[in-house]
Amino acid sequence: MFERISGSLLDPEALYASNIELFHSPELRGLNILMGFTGFADAGHVVRQINAELLDGLDADAEVVAVFDADQLIDYRSRRPHISFVEDHLQDYQAPKLALYRLKDGLGQSFLLLAGFEPDLQWERFSRAVVGIVEKLDVNLVTWIHSIPMPVPHTRPVGVTVHGNRPELIEGISSWKPTVEVPAAIGHILELRLTEAERNVAGYVIHVPHYLSEAEYPPAAVAGLEYLGAATSLMLPTDRLREAGREVGRQIAEQIEASEEVQQVVAKLESSYDEKAEGTVRRSLLADENDELPNAEDIGAAVEAYLARKDSRP
């Protein structure tokens, strides 16, 4: 049975209805939470693929712990849900959903997944609600993931940037400490508020080749699942995405082979990648010869262009 916490309509708890019996079960205490929100950049549709793989691949063990009230968090006119018109009637309304699930990995270990749309509204209130859930369930570690387009070649390993308050999860992966300004997402705000609440949190930014950022790019989703799994000691499903990645790789190879111009672009990216990677340990692919990141305009250009293209679509 789902129940909304009674009290003021402005209380953070009023944003969600919880499965009372499951929410208060001792089995949920001390687990790890994975978070993935769709609606921001999501280059290569990494978050969407990861959420689908976890919810579909582990569906037999999925239990809904809490559901957030979309009507309080979504601007429907700027992000309209889809509905099907079939000959003479409407059906299959795809209502937006943001929920907390309890899942089990390949070894039967339980973990929590907060997945769904990125809220358009009430970010601070939503953040207080999530931090409250983390504290009530005494969550061990919160990890979240998103992806951005980057000037990197698909022929090299998928890169990642890690941030948060767990140095052992960052050192050796993100060795640089830049100061840049980027468009904020709800995951960033949650990370800030969780850090202020002294809860363990780590965020993973997957680097997707900018020329593949508008299509599904399964290798990037596989990399995301591997990083999340390593951080939380979970065995997360990747087989279907790996198979899809092989097919996508074949299609990319065919397109590159058919275009000398594309071959030159990829070759240039490969040269830049190899030049910067030589003699370094997982250094940022955007770092220059002085190990410094470009300014906000440079690092944000690909993201801003990608978001502009998405916003211009009907």
What pLDDT does residue 308 have? Answer: 60
What pLDDT does residue 305 have? Answer: 59
Q: Can you give the pLDDT of all 314 residues of the chain as single tens digits?
A: 776 655 566 799 999 999 999 999 999 999 999 999 998 879 999 999 999 999 988 766 789 999 999 999 999 998 899 999 999 999 999 999 999 999 999 999 999 999 999 999 999 999 999 999 999 999 999 999 999 998 889 999 898 999 999 999 888 786 456 677 888 999 999 999 999 999 999 999 999 999 999 999 999 999 999 999 999 999 999 999 999 999 999 999 998 888 888 888 899 888 888 877 644 444 443 444 444 434 444 445 555 555 565 555 55
What pLDDT does residue 230 have? Answer: 94
What pLDDT does residue 284 have? Answer: 41
Contact 20, 2 (CB under 8 A): yes
Largest Cα separation within the chain, whole Å, is 64
DSSP character for 81?
Answer: P
What pLDDT does residue 297 have? Answer: 47
Give the domain range for residue 289: 2-311
Owner of token pair 């499965």: 19
User: For residue 314, which amino acid is it?
Assistant: P
Contacts of 180 (CB under 8 A, 6+ apart): 293, 294, 295, 296, 299, 300
Contact 282, 175 (CB under 8 A): yes
DSSP character for 206?
Answer: E
Owner of token pair 């000398």: 260
What pLDDT does residue 304 have? Answer: 57
Contact 214, 42 (CB under 8 A): no
What pLDDT does residue 292 have? Answer: 42
- Alpha helices of the chain — where are they, by DSSP H? 20-23, 46-57, 70-73, 123-136, 167-170, 186-196, 218-232, 239-257, 260-277, 296-311
Query: What gap in Å lies between CA 33 and CA 239, rounded to an integer?
Result: 22
Cα–chain-centroid distance for residue 39?
10
Contacts of 188 (CB under 8 A, 6+ apart): 203
How many domains are there within the chain? 1
User: For residue 77, which amino acid is it?
Assistant: R
Radius of gyration of the chain (CA): 20
- Alpha helices of 154-204 — where are they, by DSSP H? 167-170, 186-196
User: For residue 162, which amino acid is it?
Assistant: V
pTM: 0.85
Identify the three-state secondary structure at position 117: strand
CATH number at residue 93: 3.40.50.10900
Residue 260's CB: how many other CB atoms inside 10 A?
A: 8
Contact 122, 72 (CB under 8 A): yes
Q: Which of 109, 156, 135, 127 is nearest to 68 (CA)?
A: 127
What pLDDT does residue 312 have? Answer: 56
